[in-house]
Structure 1
């Protein structure tokens, strides 16, 4: 009888949301609260370089927790694992843009093959200056440590002008440490290596231009 009562109590806690598990063991009490922060997403005037999209809600932005995205591309599948504790405003914005299907069909417009080693994506125009109809800063973001696999947030011109563009480091790089680190590529670096091996269509220089092997973001979905 005592055992049945105990099991009944546990079931009540589980079904009412008043219990959570630690290593599989039910623990009484409310779920631990996720730390929150605020982000200031500012509208920018619409022009040929911006794609209209609703502003993210910046009042209660998670400042902890991982978000995993499946990225289907023209060259193969990739997985992003982003860390809200590392760059809360950037990760929240990226998730919002994914939900808005902002990235679907975008082509990665830039690759650098000397000095720094990155592939840059997220411009809806494919020309390097585009983004969503808002901008933001991420003052609490972690920066620096741009090693292979890191996903960083690019900006339109200066810190505080983040939008939709991001870069992936395919070889350890060193450059000014004011770009928020969103997370890492946790699957599919071979896809990026394949693109990098194809070289660039020289635009700004022989080592800075569009990838010869087109990298198109077919879809991005949250797992």
Structure 2
């Protein structure tokens, strides 16, 4: 028969076992919390870097200089490309019939270019621009009511031949950001026309398949780089949307995307040069 002493010893052992088990559970919960926090921090940092460097910077030059003939690395082609085309957004408040723009000098031009006239810039109607590339024609419609100063600059650069014989230097294929970026004659991601202009954005802006937007390196740093959205684009309203891509043009971009990229810009800012090199042979305004 168990004595009181024996029962006390058994109770002590049970209590010690329970305390040890609780301590181990608390330790595991702490480890899980630390790991989860670390994952969240990494995701947030990657997202911030991805968005803040979309317009390119001098730090992109080295990583973007990889061999453009390199085959697509595993996993660089998009797993899925959405088929639904996103409607062109509209401003919540219409602009007056004409506006004044500013195009201050900003660094050295990657290719000779003049800033466009800045006074009495129309906000009416659209302009057609076709990018004739080595992979096919990409017709686009630019919307003056949406971004008059941007359209004014883009049309001027196209008419000056600024985009002719230039490469599209960045392709991204990850879920959440599927774009083809062009407009830098240096092909490094850091070149511009020698001037800049302000963002033409508003809080309601959203992005998606078929839209055309300006790349930038921060607020009001627009120049010549732009990106064509062929799929998802989960971006903040920091990038000026100034037009749309035709369905036929999207088919061309889709084929480029399906070949993938060379990974030269991974992990930051993401993506790389198209594995199938893309050259804008000419940009024609209609």
Count of equivalent residues: 187
The superposition leaves residues 176-197 of structure 1 with CA deviations (integer Å, 9 ceiling, x where unpaired) of 2110101110132111010000
Q: Is the 8 A contact 2:199 2:220 kept in 1?
A: yes
Offset, 1:139:
3.9
Q: Is the 8 A contact 2:201 2:241 kept in 1?
A: no
Q: Is the 8 A contact 2:210 2:229 kept in 1?
A: yes
The superposition leaves residues 2-44 of structure 1 with CA deviations (integer Å, 9 ceiling, x where unpaired) of xxxxxxxxxxxxxxxxxxxxxxxxxxxxxxxx81001110012
> Does residue 130 in structure 1 map to residue 191 in structure 2?
yes
Q: TM-score, normalised by structure 2?
A: 0.62
Computing the radius of gyration over CA atoms, which structure comes out larger, 1 or 2?
2
Which residue of 1 is the match for residue 279 of structure 2?
A: 216
> Does residue 168 in structure 1 map to residue 214 in structure 2?
no
Which residue of 1 is the match for residue 139 of structure 2?
A: 79
Structure 2, unmatched stretches of 5+, are 1-95
Alignment of 1:50-65 (within 5 A): 50-65=110-125
CA distance in 2, matches of 1:184, 1:64: 16
How has the CA–CA distance of structure 1 residues 151 and 161 changed in structure 2, closer, same or farther, with 3 Å as cutoff?
A: same
Offset, 1:107:
0.4
Q: Is the 8 A contact 1:52 1:132 kept in 2?
A: yes
Alignment of 1:98-137 (within 5 A): 98-114=158-174, 115-137=176-198
Q: TM-score, normalised by structure 1?
A: 0.79
How has the CA–CA distance of structure 1 residues 204 and 44 changed in structure 2, closer, same or farther, with 3 Å as cutoff?
A: same
Which residue of 2 is the match for residue 30 of structure 1?
A: none
**Other structure's SS at 2:273 match:** strand
> Does residue 145 in structure 1 map to residue 145 in structure 2?
no
CA distance in 1, matches of 2:99, 2:226: 22
Runs ≥4 residues deviating over 6 A: none
How has the CA–CA distance of structure 1 residues 82 and 91 changed in structure 2, closer, same or farther, with 3 Å as cutoff?
A: same
Q: Is the 8 A contact 1:107 1:121 kept in 2?
A: yes
Structure 1, unmatched stretches of 5+, are 1-33
